[in-house]
Amino acid sequence: MRLLENLYCYIWTGKGNNCNSYLFAHVLRGDRPHVLIDPGHVVNEINERCLDQLLSVMGRDGLKPEDVGLIINTHSHPDHCEANEALIARSRTRPGKPSQALVALHQDEDVYRREMAEIMAKMLGQQVGFEPNFYLKEGDLSLGKENKINLKILHTPGHSPGSVSLYWPDNRVLITGDVLFYGGIGRTDLPGGDSKLLKRSIERLSELDIEYLLPGHCTQFGTMIKGRDNVRQNFASVRLSYFPLL
Ligand SMILES: [Zn+2]
């Protein structure tokens, strides 16, 4: 679903676990112009074919996996990045084009996922073995040239050490990964979780001017949050319900 001129939202609607994916379309120079945030699972715990579903809904919007030039992972849990490798493989299929989609995540997250590989594989299922091409750093990330999108990368640890949120000031869009949801917060009981850090990260996000809050998962309350007042209310409700527990 197209939310804004260059931004598409693919909200997970299956019964099992998978993340929401977001896509900045037609921004990068060259023949792979799309940037995909969190491609999610290939297949989840109840055998739903998550990647096939994502590619199918992308296809309805005219967006092809071989046109993805960059995959950004908000963090390294398998329900956000298991499909990296499959997508990279798809991006290689264009004849005569040796390049492939690049992958980026925060360096702290890359260190964490390597240290925790065995434990996380047991807890969350299949571990993912992709190699990042570059690291996301706190600060500005400009995508493309003509349809330039200026993002701010915010290092927001707590759910995991190298979790990042992506802020697009021009349209007041915030992609939160598993830091913050509609009426909820990311879990901190997995290895690498830190409730104090999560609280601090959420407080930091609450200072931004946000019109669209796009989280990594749906909750019983809903998915994305539209409207500045609704976003503010969500921060207030999370503070009230969860902060005393952190
Ligand atoms: Zn997660």
Identify the pLDDT of residue 90: 81
What residues sit around ligand 1, an ion, with C-beta below 5 angstroms?
Answer: 77, 178
Tokens 């207030």, residue located: 236
How far away, in angstroms, is 75 Cα from ligand 1 center?
7
What is residue 124's predicted lDDT score, i.e. its pLDDT?
A: 66
Task: Report the domain count for the chain.
Answer: 1
* pLDDT number for residue 219: 94
CA 124–ligand 1 middle distance (angstroms)? 10
Cα of 215 from ligand 1 centre, angstroms: 11
What is the domain-level CATH number for residue 123? 3.60.15.10
> Measured in angstroms, how far is the CA atom of residue 217 from the centroid of ligand 1?
9
CA of 92 from ligand 1 middle (Å) equals 28
Would you state the pLDDT for residue 123?
A: 73
Query: For position 91, what pLDDT does the model report?
Result: 77
What's the longest Cα–Cα distance across the chain?
Answer: 57
**Which residues neighbour 162 within 8 Å (Cβ) at sequence distance 6 or greater?**
75, 76, 105, 106, 107, 108, 109, 110, 111, 112, 155
CA 156 – CA 198 distance, rounded (Å): 7
pLDDT in tens, the chain (246 residues): 999 989 999 999 999 999 999 999 999 988 899 999 999 999 999 999 999 999 999 999 999 999 999 999 999 999 999 999 999 988 776 676 667 899 999 999 999 999 887 777 777 666 667 899 999 999 999 998 777 899 999 999 999 999 999 999 999 999 999 999 999 999 999 889 999 999 999 999 999 999 999 999 999 999 999 999 999 999 999 999 999 988
Count of alpha carbons within 13 Å of 62, Cβ hemisphere only?
A: 5
Structural domain for 172, as ranges: 2-245
Measuring CA to CA, which residue among 210, 216, 203 is closest to residue 230?
210
Q: Give the number of other Cβ atoms within 10 Å of residue 30's Cβ.
A: 10
Q: What is the pTM of this model?
A: 0.94
Rounded Cα distance between 174 and 193, Å, is 21
Q: Are 135 and 103 in contact (CB under 8 A)?
A: no
Q: Give pLDDT, residue 176.
A: 98
Cα(2) to ligand 1 centroid in Å equals 24
